[in-house]
Amino acid sequence: SEIIKKVRGKNLFFSDDVDSAIIESEMIFMAVNTPTKTEGEGKGMAADLKYIESSARNIAKVSLTNKIVVEKSTLPVRTAEKIKEILTSENKNVDFEILSNPEFLAEGTAIEDLFKSDRVLIGGDSTKKGQEAVNALVDIYSKWIPRHKILTTNVWSSELSKLASNAMLAQRISSINSLSAICEKTGANTEEISKAIGMDHRIGSYFLKVSPGFGGSCFQKDILNLVYLCKHYGLDEVAEFWHQVIKINNYQRKRLSDKIIEELEVGEKNKVGILGWAFKANTNDSRESSSIYVAKNLIDSGLELHIYDPMVTEERILSDLDNVCDKKFEVKTTTIHSSIKELLNNVDSVVILTDWNEFKHFDWIKYISNQKDTIKIYDGRNILIDKLNSYPRYYNL
């Protein structure tokens, strides 16, 4: 917000007059939602491009001068071809150049990522006009991004690179989570395994942190999109390879919830606390969060849940549960709390599913002492190993 205040009214302007903005602009960024299709061919896997297509038609309808149209949304390969077809068929008096410029920003660190980008990717046609459009966008980014970090490719490479990037990151999460299951059976330590693997410079340590599984609006959607793309081109073995990343993610969620259910003792009140609802720390985004699916499994087993997240609202949490639970879900079986202490005063077991700093820095030793060592703690993020590894009722992945 501070950054916006400095430039608003100078070179940053907000408007809800879309048509006028299109007419006045030389370059237009398309950053609209691309959800997974819910009906028709590709249902449940392919990207729904209705918002992209609608935006393209609107641009074509009102444009009076030549435009550079930039894809920012994560899109299937060759979407630019479809956009160009819509634009040129509906407005033959204007030249449109299509660029692919996917964003690689992460929720919670978007501004920092923008200023310190690993790379900026720009895909365009090899024609003279296509390269002029590419250079126009390069000139904008080069104001703060070193030129060697601006990568230019053809459009299709740029579109596929974004899908591939998210798929590779998700694959690393599923890979280390699959190893955590082996560690549980063999007595190996997941943290030590992660460190040993990550110290190999060919691999690196990033995204090798054991977790309840990946979430958010991108990874699963983009992998399913990639799987559908592979199937479309008859690459069934490749499709199955990437689909396995999602299967392992779902397996990890179920493995954690099954562990909690199996270890509950007869006669316990069966009140379980969930700490963390956002798919990761420093955001209130709960889309596809592993917490939702772990909670569903616990509710389906008849457990009473108590939930706390420092940023996700009660309304959002209950809505998430209502969307995934069957008809047995009742609000009275789930209580949303306003603090970690309030939650802990009402449960017999607690599972940590988001790595909020608040959970890391809580005085767990004092709390356990006050509870006379009766509370069970399931650490789905392995954030309390150093503090609680010697506590007999502490379980980590």
Catalytic residues: 103, 162, 218
Give 395's contacts (C-beta < 8 A, 6+ positions apart).
259, 263, 376, 377, 378, 379
Cα of 49 vs its chain's centroid, Å: 19
Residue identified by tokens 């396995």 is: 244
What is the CB neighbour count within 10 angstroms for residue 30? 20
Q: Quote the CA–CA distance of 367 and 374 in Å, as a whole number.
A: 10
Q: Residue 45: which of 242, 226, 290, 286 has the closest Cα?
A: 226
CB atoms within 10 A of CB 31: 11
Distance (Å, whole) CA 336 – CA 313: 9
Q: Which residue has the tokens 């601006």?
A: 150
87: nearest Cα among 116, 117, 61, 50: 61
- Copy the structure tokens of residue 5: 């205040």
Please list the residues that pair with 36 across neighbouring strands. 47
Positive or negative: CA dihedral 228, 229, 235, 239: negative
Q: Per the structure block, which two tokens stand in for 246?
A: 């999602």
Strand order, beta sheet including 376-379? 334-336, 304-308, 271-275, 349-352, 376-379, 394-396
Torsion of CA 133, 135, 136, 142, to 10 degrees: 150
Contacts of residues 334-340 at CB distance under 8 Å and 24 or more positions apart, as own/partner, are 334/295, 334/299, 334/304, 334/305, 334/306, 334/307, 335/304, 335/305, 335/306, 335/307, 336/306, 336/307, 336/308, 337/306, 337/307, 337/308, 338/308, 339/308, 340/275, 340/308
